[in-house]
A and B are shown apart, each in its own frame.
Chain A
């Protein structure tokens, strides 16, 4: 049994989660602002995605700096593993350096623009998000560079990196927006009609992941406890995701249409548990991807995962106690 977590793996997790959240914020911020472009009042939701964009941006840049300082990355996916060599990681960091500088400058300019002339900034929101999305797509799609863009391994690196915008990032941003909409009912009319598109985006992201893994299947397959654990979590994500985005969301939308007091205690519990499983499962996959130096039996992985879900659920309950406005009733 080996349990070893290297600093660079932790920096890599922070960078990946940050980029995923920033990318998803740009994507859905763009969608919301474009949908409202012909209307007099700006999209309120797209202003909230600015917050998550900034938070993701800070995390990504901190993670990126950390990786620069400790350049030694091991990396995997779904238990089907291709570990980039050190030179490939160094190449990618070098290639993306101007991109990071440009992106951070753009983010800082955006904050100044928001503070100086809010109305003008809101008019430019769609191109602002589009530019961010383009840049973040480039940055997240190049976690490693082997110099041959057409090879299966390089395409795997790209697909594996990019899908996080649609999956992990979208799940986190959606959760954030949903919690905001509970506290601020005026956001609901804008947010809820988009639910099916966000679900489709998440499922397409997982599909991209499956396809990218297929590219390196022969080379990367290793039947370790980590493989079986990751596959278990993927199965749980699919089953829970279908229930959450389908019957559970339909029930929620019907009950929220005319107020917040139509859900019974049982449904509130089901929704909270399902939402917690969704976010914590995606985070588990993202985090375990980077933990290349942990070799433990399957039941250890599973116990850690169940513990993580329980802790996340308890944290949610604490937040609800502190901020009762974010509670479903």
Chain B
């Protein structure tokens, strides 16, 4: 798996894991981290596609 795929996969898994926490405690910390990881993955993906075009 590539770096951005790993980041996005973790974002999806974290998002799912955060739901029981939100249900029980209304705590959105994990959910927020998942969204952050998603954008990090998106950034990695953009950079990789941009660099592969210049090779």
A interface residues, Cβ below 8 angstroms from B:
196-197, 199-200, 203-204, 206-207, 210, 223, 228, 231-232, 234-239, 241-243, 246-247
A223's partner among B1, B12, B22, B39 (CB-CB below 8 A) is B22
The answer to whether B19 and A228 have CB atoms under 8 Å apart is: yes
A200 with B12: CB separation less than 8 A: no
Given contacts A200-B49, A231-B19, A247-B1, is CB(A242)–CB(B38) below 8 Å? no
Beyond A210-B35, A232-B16, A237-B12, 5 extra complex contacts between A and B, CB < 8 Å: A203-B8, A207-B38, A235-B16, A242-B5, A247-B5
Query: Which chain B residues border A207 with CB–CB below 8 Å?
Result: 38-39, 42
Is there an interface contact between B8 and A242, defined as CB atoms closer than 8 Å? yes
Size of interface on B: residues with Cβ below 8 Å to A:
24
Q: A200's contact among B1, B39, B46, by CB below 8 Å, is which?
A: B46
The chain B residue sitting closest to A199, CB to CB, is B45
Among residues of B, the one whose C-beta sits closest to the C-beta of A247 is: B1
The reply to whether A235 and B12 contact each other, CB–CB distance below 8 Å, is yes
Task: Give complex CA distance A210, B22 in Å.
Answer: 17
The residues in B between 2 and 51 inclusive whose CB is less than 8 angstroms from any CB of A are 2, 5, 8-9, 11-13, 15-16, 19, 22-23, 26, 31, 35, 38-39, 41-42, 45-46, 49
Q: Is A239's CB under 8 angstroms from B46's CB?
A: no
Q: How far is the CA of A237 from the CA of B9 in the complex (A)?
A: 10
Contact among B9, B23, B26, B49 for A242, CB-based, below 8 A = B9
**Contact A238 to B19, CB < 8 A, known contacts A200-B45, A246-B2:** no
- Contact between A228 and B23, CB atoms less than 8 A apart: yes
A133 to B13, CA, bound (A): 34
Is the CB–CB distance between A231 and B15 below 8 Å? yes
Minimum CB–CB distance for A171 against chain B, Å: 16
Residues of A within 8 A of B5 (CB): 242, 246-247
Please, which residues of chain A bring their CB within 8 A of the CB of B46?
200
CA–CA, A223 to B31, complex, Å? 13
In the assembled complex, how far is the CB of residue B47 from the closest CB belonging to chain A, in whole angstroms? 11
Q: When the two chains form their complex, are residues A238 and B26 in contact, meaning their CB atoms are under 8 A apart?
A: no
Q: Is the CB of A210 within 8 A of B38?
A: yes
> How far does the alpha carbon of A76 sit from the alpha carbon of B21 in the complex, in Å?
23
9 inter-chain pairs at a CB distance below 8 angstroms, sorted by A residue, are A210-B39, A223-B22, A223-B23, A231-B19, A232-B16, A235-B13, A242-B8, A242-B9, A243-B9
